[in-house]
Amino acid sequence: MLRTNTCGELTKKDIGKNVTLCGWNQSRRDHGGVIFVDLRDRYGLTQIVADPSHKKEVHKVCEKVRREDVLRAIGKVRHRGKDLENPKLKTGEIEVLLESLEILNSSETPPIEIDDRQLANEEIRMKYRYLDLRRPEMQRNLLVRHKASMAVREYMNSENFLEIQTPMLVKSTPEGARDYLVPSRVNPGHFYALPQSPQLYKQILMVAGFDRYYQFPICLRDEDLRADRQPEHTQIDIEMSFVEIDDIFNVVENLMKSIFKKTLNIDLKTPFERLKHSSSIDRYGLDKPDLRFGLEITDITSISSESDFSGGC
């Protein structure tokens, strides 16, 4: 390994250790000859220090460091000093005095700031996605998604479900949207369809005797964008045999409870509130109400029937 530690793990218990870190230059500050660099990786930030009175040749290398250069730093962990600690960082009590500094890869001037406090517009962020993904918020988002996926697998496996991957190139099935089509080279004039959902395979698995199945399928739909629609998305597919509706409710409720607990440390209360379709339509006007807002429909028929208002604008 090119490193002994990540940039997010060193604390005062590591003072005196010789360490090797690798990461990106978040910022460089020259304070009267002594240069401070915030070295960043996905685990956090560690401050490294180039002191010309300690290692002049290392200081010369550090003078050439630019934003987002990829660095390998070797040095000794030391205390930052009184009133110089940063309580916002896990590594805020220490810094690494450099014995050696290597620029593994030089960076051109980045077109966007790798900083959650200075957010570029979405078009630029999408163009330079590899830079946008370096931002702490984006890395936290992907970490949460990873933890959620692990929580799903842990819970479903504990309930005796099998995770089974199904093919992406399938026969077209009549569903709610248009299929994306893939032409077949060996069968001219014929096409595969990309799955809106692996419906056929779920049914085959149930018929074949796999009574409990789950998957994280990528679903693709050739339809216009809407508030709750996009060309592709990932969903959790669950199929169960020999069950009643309450069995499905219980599995899904406990699954969501497990995801929130293990990903965000939030305890969800179960069972969830259940509404009949007719009650939901009567109270909210739709079958998927957001119960956080409580905007229920009020029936004023009895009042309006006695009014002489004739309507119109």
Percent of the chain with pLDDT over 90: 80
Overall fold of domain 141-264: BirA Bifunctional Protein; domain 2 (3.30.930)
Buried b (16+ CB within 10 A) or exposed e, 253-287: bbbbbbbeebbeeeeeeeeeeebeeeebeebbeee
| pLDDT computed for residue 30 by the predictor | 93
- What is the pLDDT of the chain when averaged over all its residues? 93
| pLDDT computed for residue 163 by the predictor | 98
pLDDT, mean of residues 144-167: 97
**Does domain 12-105 correspond to CATH entry 2.40.50.140?**
yes
Given a cut of 60, whether residue 44 has pLDDT beyond it is yes
| pLDDT computed for residue 78 by the predictor | 97
pLDDT in tens, 114-155: 888 888 899 999 999 999 999 999 999 999 999 999 999 999
Confidence (pTM) = 0.84
pLDDT tier, 18 (very low <50, low <70, confident <90, very high otherwise): very high
Lowest mean pLDDT among 35-49, 55-69, 83-97, 161-175: 161-175
DSSP line for 133-171: TTSHHHHHHHHHHHHHHHHHHHHHHHTT-EE----SSB-
| pLDDT computed for residue 144 by the predictor | 95
pLDDT, mean of residues 46-75: 96
| pLDDT computed for residue 4 by the predictor | 97
Cβ distance 149 to 163 under 8 Å? no
Lowest mean pLDDT among 109-113, 117-121, 202-206: 117-121
Task: List the chain domain ranges.
Answer: 12-105, 141-264, 275-308
12-105 with 141-264: one CATH topology? Answer: no
